[in-house]
Structure 1
Amino acid sequence: RSTPRGAASFDVHATPAVTVHMIHSPTTKPSLDARWPLDPDIEVVVTIDVTSRTVDDNQVKISYYDREGHELAVAWLYLTCVEVSLDVDWNRSGRVKSKGKDKDKWTWGPDGQGAVLLVNCDRDSPGAGGTDSGQADIRTPADLQDMSVMLLRTEGPSAIFAEYPVVLHVPESDADKVRVFHAVRGDAYPLYKPVLGPDKLSYVLDHAGHGDSTFYVEGLAFPDRGFSGLVSFSASLLEVPHKDSPGTPIFTDTVVFRVAPWIMTPNTQQPLEVFVCSIKQGSDSNEAFLEGLRVLLRKANCKLTVCSEQDSRSDRWIQDELEFGYVEAPHKTFPVVFDSPRNRGLKDFAFKKILGPDFGYVTREPPGKSVTSLDSFGNLDVSPPVTVRGKEYPLGRILIGSPLPW
């Protein structure tokens, strides 16, 4: 429609930063003077690998010629190249890598790819009432170590980003599973601004075009029934036709995290710490048992933590109350205690006495609020690594008890 009347051929020239690709059939060839026939099967593709310093600093010139070789018309294409890239630790090296391929896909295994996210379920902040994930702010630098880094790189002329905003956003279905903080400069120390999460689905980046913006991402929920553990984030460059318009994405870059599951440790592992209840009152005192345990653990060079009768409220069945496991990502690993819903005398012990810096806490309540003996963790265990019918289970297999009669 834009080809001048009488044109039979054309050529393409561009400024040095622009690469011109001619896509054509094998039988179509340019002439000796590098002019191409006006063939509908020919496609001209231009790419730029260098970010523009100014608006329209790259040009493409297309000249049209008649059959005698006379120039009939010239068309100019003005190009401005900007970079918008959202990056995470997609290769699980412990560091954010840029320009990853298929960042919106997640695969298992040592040769897989995709970033890992931890539920921030420990308590690094001494004054916090619960886990760090329950706080909508960052109170200590140690809290950042439990989070995954996400970098949003924007490069290019500021005039472009003033007209075309960059928006970081999360799907509504994922928003209650994560929280994102933006690291911004403060007067004396960095500030960490909550920008995405349960109550916020999008965030417009201020001062786009000036390099890397650093974000810290924390998980709020473990993979569970109804949640696979996959969450995604996207950065979009928007065209906004007028002030009240929501904008149309011109370009979108997406990354995917998987929230690390709680992994249960088998009792065949080397013990680091043993928890036991002390019962001094009545005929069921376990003082003799405790003394024998102390002797054994000294020989094993293992720490002993004794839950007092006051803390346990005379509930000695600590194995029914809690199980130990851990969460792991390339950048951080820490233990997590799983508190059962049996909620007897020991119901507050794990939360009050174990939850702390780099020691997480998680609990679950039955959907129907009816607790049975199977909700006691004496009926929950995990095997050592095992192979069953040729299939390997490197983390073991969960074992669940059953009610009587068997």
Structure 2
Amino acid sequence: WTWGPDGHGAILLVNCDRDDPAAETPDNRDAAIRSYNDLKDMSQMVLRARGPRTIFTGHRLLLHVDFSDSDKVRVFYGGNSVALEEYQHVLGGSKLSYTIKPSRHQEESVFYVEGLAFPDVNFSGLVALHVTLLESSEKGQLETPIFTDTVVFRVAPWIMTPNTLAPLEVFVCSVDGNKDFVAAVSAVAEKAKCPLTVCPPVENRQDPWIQDEVEFGYIQAPHKTFPVVFDSPRDRGLKNFPIRSILGPDFGYVARQAPEGASSLDSFGNLEVSPPVTVRGKEYPLGRILIGTSFPRFGGRPMAKAVKDFLFAQKVQAPVELFSDWLCVGHVDEFLTFVPAPDRKGFRLLLASPSACFQLLKEKQEEGYGEAVMFQGLEKERKWTINEILTNEWLQKFNHYAQ
């Protein structure tokens, strides 16, 4: 299997959507074919057996998978039938081998292969399936392998999309006190002719931070592409929303947990991706993942190992770690974002600047607005004035450090 435009090799999708609305879990968690749409998410593997049929009186064809790969892949076979109920799970999981019985009228056997797991710290993403021609021996003796062929699949990585792309759907949470905000987002979505999904209080349990709960990406093979939502380990009020309300037909789901306990850095406001970039001559056509972390020598809050391992294992969007632990919340989206631009790279990186903010406040103070109040109209928030901010030495010192 070889990367690149001139590379070669088969691609396998993790069958992590849920084509049957009655099912409770993604399709990669069961060993059944529930619909023809389920088959369309799988890659075909064609076995051609050409030669004298009499050879199978003394030989047999064995399809097999290594034990180390058996939990990463599942193979289905329906024989000559196209009836859904005839498709059986023949390889993967606890099934390490399957004897193929070519018929007199069939030179080709078509198998359907689904991925069960994304690349991760202990899984490169490569899966090998083998077929071996065995010669029958005397009763009680081991069969002799005559020939073995192998096909290698690479499981398609989970790929993030930058916010410089046109939106396909907007998600917003409706909670107590944000009626005006939801209305404003709805108006913008309508103007952009973009579908809007409002997560109601009964589903979000007063958790408004959907940006922190999920990150959207996609998986792609030559025969199929579909979006996949990555569910963060923060698990607050929105914990069940992704798997209950986003997972569905041609919309996949993946999650990673934090056994050591999730920190603020595990929320997905701390997970962004750049537009396509070239760095020191190396091209990243899908951009690079950006995650916030702490200085190693100072300790601080880490991003969960399981989340970082997953992101690095996808390979195609090599992550960049940025120091964000100096922030109270600690998310990269608090100090950077990308916006479209008509020239040069086609985008701009916008960075928050405490120094620029203080300069703007000083200008307003000089214009006579020193008693202007921040957070005006918000309840339960201290009403800082511009004068108070500019005379707070600790605040200025900390922001100078941040700059």
Give TM-score scaled by structure 1 length. 0.71
The correspondence for 1:154, drawn from 49, 64, 89, is 49
Paired AA for residue 372 in structure 1: S
Distance in 2 separating the partners of 1:243 and 1:135: 37
Aligned partners of 1:356, 1:331: CA distance in 2, in Å? 19
Partner of 2:268: 377
- Render the CA deviation track for 1:238-296: whole Å, top value 9, x for unaligned: 0121233342210111111000010011111100100010013xxxx111111111111
The code of the aligned residue for 1:393 comes to: Y
- The 5 Å alignment of 1:1-400 reads 106-185=1-80, 191-207=86-102, 210-280=106-176, 285-366=177-258, 368-400=259-291
1:176-219 deviation digits (Å, cap 9, x = unpaired):
00000012245966611111011011100123563001100000
Which residue number corresponds to residue 326 of structure 2? Answer: 405
Specify whether residues 192 and 296 from structure 1 end up closer, same or farther in structure 2 by C-alpha distance, changes over 3 A only.
same
Letter in 2 for 1:107: T
Higher strand share: 1
SS in structure 1 opposite 2:32?
A: coil
Residue-by-residue CA offset, 1:288-325 (whole Å, 9 max, x unaligned): 11111111111100011000011000001111100000
Aligned to 1:233, the other structure's residue is in SS state strand
Shift of 1:155: 2.0
Which residues of structure 2 form unaligned runs of 5+? 294-300, 302-324, 328-403
Query: Secondary structure, in 3 states, of the residue corresponding to 1:353?
Result: helix
For 1:308, the aligned partner's letter is P
Asked whether the 8 Å contact 2:129–2:150 carries over to 1, the reply is yes
Structure 1's 212 and 186: CA in aligned 2 closer, same or farther, altered over 3 A? closer
Residue by residue over 1:38-91, the C-alpha shift from the partner in whole angstroms, topping out at 9 and shown as x without a partner, is: xxxxxxxxxxxxxxxxxxxxxxxxxxxxxxxxxxxxxxxxxxxxxxxxxxxxxx
Q: Using the alignment, how far apart are the partners of 1:373 and 1:356 within structure 2?
A: 28
Q: Which residue does the alignment assign to 1:49? A: none
Encode CA deviations 1:138-197: one digit per residue, 9 max, x unaligned.
010000110000011112222211210000011111110000001224596661111101
**Residues 35 and 84, structure 2, Cα contact 8 Å, conserved in 1:** no
TM-score where L is the length of structure 2:
0.71
Q: Which amino acid aligns with 1:248?
A: T
SS of the aligned residue for 2:180 comes to helix
Structure 1 residues 299, 389: CA separation in 2 closer, same or farther (over 3 Å shift)?
A: same
Secondary structure in 2 matching 1:173: helix
Q: What are the Cα deviations for residues 106-162 of structure 1, in whole angstroms up to 9, with x where unaligned?
A: 000111000000000000012211001111010100001100000111122222112
Inter-partner Cα distance in structure 1 for 2:95 and 2:206:
45
| Contact 1:180–1:197 (Cα < 8 Å) also in 2 | yes
Alignment partners' CA distance in 1, 2:141 and 2:48: 25
- Is the CA contact 1:155–1:208 (under 8 Å) kept in the aligned structure 2? no
Task: Tell me how far 1:341 sits from its aligned partner.
Answer: 0.7
Q: 1:217 to 1:188 in 2, by over 3 A?
A: closer
SS at match of 1:298: helix
**Is the contact between residue 33 and residue 84 of structure 2 (CA under 8 Å) also seen in structure 1?**
no
Report how many residues are paired.
296
Secondary structure of 2:107's counterpart equals strand
Identical-pair percentage: 61
Q: Equivalents in 1 of 2:28, 2:83: separation in Å? A: 26
**Partner Cα separation in structure 2 for residue 208 and residue 117 of structure 1:** 28
Greater Cα shift, 245-254 or 302-311:
245-254
Residue type at the aligned position of 1:348 = N
* Separation of aligned partners in 2, 1:118 and 1:244: 41
Asked if structure 2 preserves the Cα contact closer than 8 Å seen for 1:185 and 1:191, the reply is: no
SS in structure 1 opposite 2:229?
A: strand
Greater per-residue helix proportion? 2
Query: Does the 8 Å CA contact 1:154/1:208 hold for their aligned counterparts?
Result: no
Residue 378 of structure 1 aligns to a residue whose secondary structure is helix
Name the stretch that deviates more: 126-135 or 189-198.
189-198
Letter in 2 for 1:215: F
Match of 2:316 in 1: none
